[in-house]
Structure 1
């Protein structure tokens, strides 16, 4: 998973602008060792995802213009939200064909620590999970009376939060990520201080809601490409 994450990070950066990149520039920009970036670029060239301009420069192939539009907003939006809130921001989404049952960390930004891409997200115990479940059609969610009550509360207030860490995730406030046509494609959360107050939650919500709305179309396209 780590090697795949590194490769996708290189590919996203390579597609960020219509110009060649040097190996050293890419390595410094994304924080990987130069030899690692060089091996990834060589693999991309072998599979037609990139091309070598000369001995030291690489660029994305023309056919990846669509990828350029869909990969760059996600890290940019998360980084912007993390910067505005000065905290860890986590994006979670369902695995292919698992809507309503499985959620994983898709991306993180800000004051990162133990949370990494690919981590499982508890659906019922975490703010991310409950924000996601509350936005799904009720018939898709198997929930007992206690969870139903909790999800109804999330629907009423528009967010979920947990006052303590859950399965490696910190205290968070989270909102659903909509796709623009009434479907939920994930959840976006921000770490809360300890102790957290209602003012801390209210400060985070406008930033999270704005980023979630912008991220929705990107996640929808990604899920379709993965066969969800």
Structure 2
């Protein structure tokens, strides 16, 4: 625990002011050996908590918020879904394309906050909020369908979310947003159950929370 205490002391000092700190300055301030502080700072840089300005100076990045995001990325989508489900207090679903069927078939990849939907369930592309949110983020030349569907997808592109007013197969009434990969392509859709029938305020609130997780 002593090493953790030392690291937290250095982290707190590094975040005290919005400027670069020298290794010697930090060592003197926190009462540690320069080599110890140097090792701690190297660890911070590796985890996105600090940035090396030059050979002997470091600056804080996003502090503990960055550490939390790093932990979430390492824990995978299930961790993010659990956090969203806890925050919303309702079913949250992540749907992704099946292997080798990108753009044609979706299935539930992960679930949090409910048991009515299970991983592996098929997702309707053209009727469900999850499917339509996914389709709306694909290149328009890759999506075919009826004029009504294409008009709906265009409205979703403008608003940034899709929703269905009635249950679709195993899915309840939901609102969903596209999930994009690091290269900008659509990797799936993230949706949450709608509890209040026809409530615009509820849709807006849930969409805001979902967007914080993508």
Q: Is 2:83 aligned against 1:80?
A: yes
CA deviation map 1:22-49 (0-9, x unaligned): xxxxxxxxxxxxxxxxxxxxxxxxxxxx
Residue 188 of structure 1 corresponds to which residue in structure 2?
190
Report 1:121-160 matches (<5 A): 121-160=123-162
Structure 2 stretches lacking a partner, 5+ long: 1-70
Bigger relative CO (Cα 8 Å, ≥ 6 apart): 1
Q: How many residues align?
A: 144
SS at match of 1:211: coil
Structure 2: how far apart are the matches of 1:139 and 1:113?
Answer: 37
Pick the aligned partner of 2:122 from 120, 123, 146: 120
Structure 2: how far apart are the matches of 1:170 and 1:117?
Answer: 15
Residue 98 of structure 2 corresponds to which residue in structure 1?
95
Residue 22 of structure 1 corresponds to which residue in structure 2?
none
With the length of structure 1 as denominator, give the TM-score of the two structures: 0.60
Residue 106 of structure 1 corresponds to which residue in structure 2?
109
Structure 2: how far apart are the matches of 1:207 and 1:119?
Answer: 24
Do 2:72 and 2:79's aligned partners in 1 also have CA atoms closer than 8 Å?
A: no
Structure 1 stretches lacking a partner, 5+ long: 1-67, 213-228
- Deviating more after overlay: 187-196 vs 120-129: 187-196
With the length of structure 2 as denominator, give the TM-score of the two structures: 0.64
Kindly name which structure, 1 or 2, has the bigger radius of gyration based on alpha carbons.
2
Q: CA deviation at 1:100?
A: 1.2
